[in-house]
Amino acid sequence: MKRICPVSFFSFLVVSLAFLAAARPAAGQTLSGTLSNFDVFNQTGHESHGFEIELDGISSQDIASTFGGTYIRYGDPGTVDFPGGALIRYASPYDSVRRVFTVGTPVPPSPITATSGHSCWTGGAPGYPTSGCEHFGASLFKNPTAVHYRWLIEDPANPGVLVPGPDVSIASPLWSVIPGAAGGAAVVNAAIAPPEIKAPRQQFPAAVWVKVYETETDKNVELNHLLTDDAVVPQSGTPEVEWEILQSNPKKPNNGALQHGKPLGKGNQSVIRRFEFYQYTGLYSAEGEASACSTGGKGSACAPQAGELGDYIGAQMAAAQFGQIAAPKAAITAVSNGATGQAGIASGSWVSIYGSNLSATTRSWQNSDFQGANLPVALDGVSVTINGKAAAVAYISPGQLNVQAPANSAAGPVPVQVTNSLGAATATASLQNYAPGFFALQGKYVVAVHTDSMLVAPAGFFGGAVASRPAQPGETLLLFGTGFGPTTPAVSPGQIVTSAAALTDLSQLHVRIGGVPATVQYAGIVFAGEYQFNVIIPALPDGDQTLVADIGGVPTQSGLLISIKN
């Protein structure tokens, strides 16, 4: 069971991005992988619910790692192979009850403010949630032959289905290794191919100014190093290329692609380039060709004159690596109560484990996973232990696992280990005698039903798909939670629950709704790790009322509500 709660690019580019395309190996020097990190604005004109990166000429096995997890609203992406390539796909979950995608990237406010290339994530700019911008990235063991970027939007004819929008016009550096003359050092070249953008009434699309900085390092560069302010990214100083113009131009070699190359320094393993983009505001010929630098110069011979240099657009960080890229590893970032999201867990309670590369697949348990009365302790090769004991595994995904804590009498910090095909990841959890929490809808209303099984929530809360109504004072509601402690008879974690078992000491449980004590007629386990509470609603006024409980002196989470209507 999953936790209940739980890009206009200026003619070419609006923000920073970095993706590396094909490379040709040379004798004595082999390019072993590429890295990218970029921000991208949603300029589809609609709220988007995901993003995909199409990598031609490689498979999902060639993807070393991706950017995601708790750092962006979409979490970790999935990877899908198709004939001729692979997709990295970031996508929102879909609430089939309310018939809505639960996560979305809004249309950005106007005017768009250029980013540093690493701002659109939870640790970046403070306005990330409403910026209309996302941050994506990947590192690869091999180089793709082509890269395409697309926002994912809901198919109006098929609710709940995401379809790719048009390609986002992004220029991707094409890395190549050119053998050095007479045994000299190889030249590492990065070519920027201008995107083909339709330009009605003119032959050429709009141009942009480009300034290039380059640096090398004797170390392997990781994906999270490609930040604007990271030490490995070339900053201000003497640029490799002072100024040049990027514009699709059939009159020029390779349609106007820009070439940037120099011999690789002895012993160096990685080449990093930072491309800065500025608007071109100079004159154009009758055909639409940028008049500045039309003789083909670059650097000081191609400096913008008065009126030709517009606003800064963004920065692109790109790296090519010759050393061995580290294989992906599973990592745990948090272990929390499956209902509250807080740190404490208890024997038999539902636990959510967050991180990266926790699983290669996404699914919940199914009938074929059960062994008699035993809950599955592994799904698709993913298993979990808490304090050395196997936990039942109910849900797996790259960024989140949901498991039931095994029986354990220990208290305090205990080790948590996730094991999969990539190895093992470890973390620490706080094991308590009680770790009570109510399950929640959208993190707001408690999961509760009337005795006729209708959900408790304001009328229309789920749209027309599922009926709901508020609670009425004097009626009995059924509430659900986890982590409320021992029962009589005892119920063993990891087992199917065949009959209800009441709390051992009901007198320790206190429930308050709107600050008023509520009578609890029954409290006990009805499903593996899940407790049911039959509670009489006290006399209260209309509106949303707070719900909180405690057992053994340990409170449930704050902020949960019940909708009341007299």
Looking up residue 386, the CATH number of its domain turns out to be: 2.60.40.10
Contact 145, 43 (CB under 8 A): no
The neighbouring-strand residues paired with 39 are 135
Backbone φ and ψ for 474, nearest 5 degrees, come out as: 95, -20
∠ CA 518-519-520, rounded to 5°: 115
3-class secondary structure, 387: coil
Q: pLDDT tens digit string along 156-184?
A: 888 888 999 887 755 555 555 555 555 55
Same domain for 114 and 235: yes
Q: How far is the first Cα of the chain from the last one, in angstroms, to the nearest whole number?
A: 34
Same domain for 233 and 107: yes
Asked whether residue 426 is assigned to any structural domain, the reply reads: yes
3-class secondary structure, 477: strand
Asked whether residue 469 is assigned to any structural domain, the reply reads: yes
CA dist., res. 279 & res. 260, Å (int): 20
Span 80-99, average pLDDT:
87
Contact 206, 278 (CB under 8 A): no
Q: pLDDT confidence of 89, banded at 50, 70, 90? A: very high
Last residue of a domain, one of 274, 296, 321: 321
Same domain for 344 and 310: no
The range of the structural domain enclosing residue 354 comes to 331-432
CA dist., res. 151 & res. 91, Å (int): 10
Tell me which of 54-58, 59-63, 200-204, 463-467 is least confident. Answer: 200-204
If you ran DSSP here, which 8-state letter would residue 405 be given? P
Same domain for 381 and 465: no
Same domain for 341 and 309: no
The listed range with the strongest mean pLDDT (6-10, 54-58, 440-444) is 54-58
Backbone φ and ψ for 329, nearest 5 degrees, come out as: -130, 150
Q: pLDDT tens digit string along 509-533?
A: 999 999 999 999 999 999 999 999 9
Would you say residue 553 has pLDDT above 50? yes
Asked whether residue 23 is assigned to any structural domain, the reply reads: no
pLDDT of 44: 85
Q: CB-side exposure of 555: number of CA atoms within 13 Å?
A: 7
pTM reported for the whole predicted model: 0.56
DSSP annotation string for 439-457: -EETTTEE-EE-TTS-EES
Asked whether residue 12 is assigned to any structural domain, the reply reads: no
Last residue of a domain, one of 286, 321, 356: 321
Asked whether residue 167 is assigned to any structural domain, the reply reads: yes
Contact 463, 455 (CB under 8 A): no
Same domain for 186 and 46: yes
Backbone φ and ψ for 471, nearest 5 degrees, come out as: -80, 155
Same domain for 139 and 200: yes
- How many domains is the chain partitioned into structurally? 3
Same domain for 273 and 158: yes
Same domain for 385 and 522: no
Last residue of a domain, one of 377, 410, 432: 432
DSSP annotation string for 132-189: SEEEEEEEESS--SEEEEEEEEE-TTSTT-EEEEEEP----EEEEEEPPGGG-PPEEE
Average pLDDT, rounded, for the chain? 78
Span 61-76, average pLDDT:
82
Tell me which of 38-42, 72-76, 114-118, 437-441 is least confident. Answer: 114-118
Q: pLDDT tens digit string along 213-256?
A: 777 666 665 545 454 445 555 555 567 777 888 777 666 656 66
Give the 3-state DSSP-derived string for 338-353, with helices as H, strands as E and coil as C.
CCCCCCEEECCCEEEE
Asked whether residue 13 is assigned to any structural domain, the reply reads: no
Asked whether residue 82 is assigned to any structural domain, the reply reads: yes
Q: 326 or 395: whose pLDDT is higher?
A: 395
Tokens (6 digits) for 358? 């926790």
Cis status, amide bond into 493, omega within 30 of 0: no
Contact 23, 31 (CB under 8 A): yes
Residue 233 to residues 23, 29, 214, 265: CA-CA distances in angstroms?
A: 21, 22, 8, 17
DSSP annotation string for 408-420: ----EEEEEEEEE
Asked whether residue 457 is assigned to any structural domain, the reply reads: yes
Same domain for 533 and 482: yes
Span 250-275, average pLDDT:
65
Same domain for 149 and 75: yes
Same domain for 445 and 410: no
